[in-house]
Amino acid sequence: MTLQPILPWWLLLPFAVGALAFPGWRLFQNLRTGTGAGSRAGHGLRQVLLVLLLAAAALRPGLPGGTAQAATTDLNVFFVVDTTTSMVAEDYGNAGPRMAGVREDIAAIAEELPGARFSVITFDTTAHVRMPLTTDTLALETITSVLEPQLTSYAKGSSITAARQVLSERLTAARRSHPERPRLVYYFGDGEQTSARAPGPMDLGAGLVAGGAVLGYGTAGGGRMRENTGEEYDDGSTFAEDAPYLRDSNGEGAGDALSRIDEAGLRQIAGQLDLPYVHRAAGDPIAPVMRDTRPGELQTSSVRQPDQNGSFSTRTEVYWVPAAGAFVLGLGELFLLVRQFRELRATPAGSPQAGRRRAARKAEVR
């Protein structure tokens, strides 16, 4: 049997002890009395049992076994986006920037996972959480529509694994708050390492990533990149499609700088995350990415391999058993209260019968 309390232990235990203290004390006192102790003790015992059943239901006991269909509403999806200057290299589709492909793919993936919770993390020199987990797809659309490369003057070299620490922290927090929800990671980048240091490993904690994919953008031939000077335009952006191209003075003479995809680096990240790598080009359908990801066939600590029907093994909830018992006892207590109220209203307050009934009721509830 496994337990998944509805509240943390440190919060649930004081509530249970406090709720049990008064009826437990009354039961103990009733058992010490003499005449008429049977009915009073029975009433106190029912109250103690009611509290115990409610506490047992709050612990959410379950038994291993059973199956359930996977649902996209149970997913936490993290989009990790490379926003270095190379992501606007113009070798996507008809000389479009790579970031255009990222925007299209994020929208397509979100459409395939209705009801899921989405988060956006970007990285260049450092990593930032642009949007925490939310089901608001309009917010996701707004965030992705304004993704821009870092200012050219701030570009001092970046690592393709710069988002590791922030991503690990967000995944750990998501698992702590909702351990039953599988966590998907979609990494969008070109694999170009511009930092002088070799990229560190994308080593996340065990069991943090249940699925996802690494998506690569760019070509071996490369593409030119426009500058981002930081000048703000009327639409609020700081990147213009007619900005000058970056120049490269390395080698023989000066010319436009080119950025080329590094699929070896992207495959290495995919291997470290245990995710498939998919190269993306303009017009590519999203179906192959989702088929490799298999969001409906995910593993977590409480989810096993799916069967041939697309179901996965899980635990069978049995919290309803103590909850049903508490409901029956609660109905009994409510019936007694209603009966006592009706008897008090039907009997004149000053009559001897009323006095005897009040005394009997006081003795019963003591």
Residue 67 in any domain: the answer is no
Cβ proximity of 326 and 53 under 8 Å: yes
List, as one string, the DSSP characters of 142-161.
Answer: HHHHT--PPPGGG-----TT
Per-residue pLDDT of the chain (366 residues; tens, 9 = 90+): 777 787 777 777 887 787 777 676 776 666 666 544 555 556 667 777 888 888 888 888 877 655 444 456 689 999 999 999 899 999 998 889 999 999 999 999 999 998 899 999 999 888 999 999 999 999 999 999 988 887 766 666 688 999 999 999 999 999 999 988 999 999 999 999 887 788 888 988 888 999 999 999 999 999 998 888 766 555 555 556 677 888 876 655 467 889 999 999 999 999 999 999 999 999 999 988 887 665 545 544 333 334 444 444 455 778 888 889 888 888 888 888 888 778 777 766 555 555 655 555 555 545
Residues 351 and 303 in one domain: no
pLDDT at 271: 93
> Strand 183-189's sheet: what is its strand order?
127-134, 117-123, 76-82, 183-189, 211-217, 277-280
Residue 234 in any domain: the answer is yes
Residue 154 in any domain: the answer is yes
Residues 139 and 258 in one domain: yes
Residues 39 and 87 in one domain: no
Check residue 327 and report its DSSP letter. Answer: H
Residue 65 in any domain: the answer is no
Residues 232 and 337 in one domain: no
pLDDT in tens, 248-274: 766 554 678 899 999 999 999 999 999
pLDDT in tens, 123-157: 988 899 999 999 999 999 999 998 888 776 666 66
Distance, in Å, from the CA atom of 121 to the CA atom of 81, rounded to the nearest integer, reads: 6
Q: Which of 313, 332, 354 is the last residue of a domain?
A: 313
Please give the residue range of the domain that contains residue 188: 72-313
What sign has the CA pseudo-torsion 225, 230, 234, 235? positive
Residues 13 and 109 in one domain: no
Q: Which of 313, 328, 349 is the last residue of a domain?
A: 313
Residues 99 and 14 in one domain: no
Q: For the domain that residue 246 is a member of, what is the CATH number? A: 3.40.50.410
Residues 46 and 135 in one domain: no
Residue 202 in any domain: the answer is yes
List, as one string, the DSSP characters of 228-290.
Answer: ------TTS-S--TTSPBPEE-SSSS-EE-EE---HHHHHHHHHHHT--EEEE-TT--SHHHH
Closest to 87 measured CA to CA, from 99, 100, 79, 95: 99
Report the number of distinct structural domains present in the chain. 2
Residues 102 and 237 in one domain: yes
pLDDT at 41: 58
pLDDT at 278: 95
Residue 241 in any domain: the answer is yes
Residues 112 and 228 in one domain: yes
Residue type, 187: Y
Residues 248 and 325 in one domain: no
Q: Which of 298, 313, 328 is the last residue of a domain?
A: 313
Residues 203 and 309 in one domain: yes
Provide the whole-model pTM.
0.62
pLDDT at 30: 67
pLDDT at 312: 44
Residues 250 and 354 in one domain: no
Residue 95 in any domain: the answer is yes
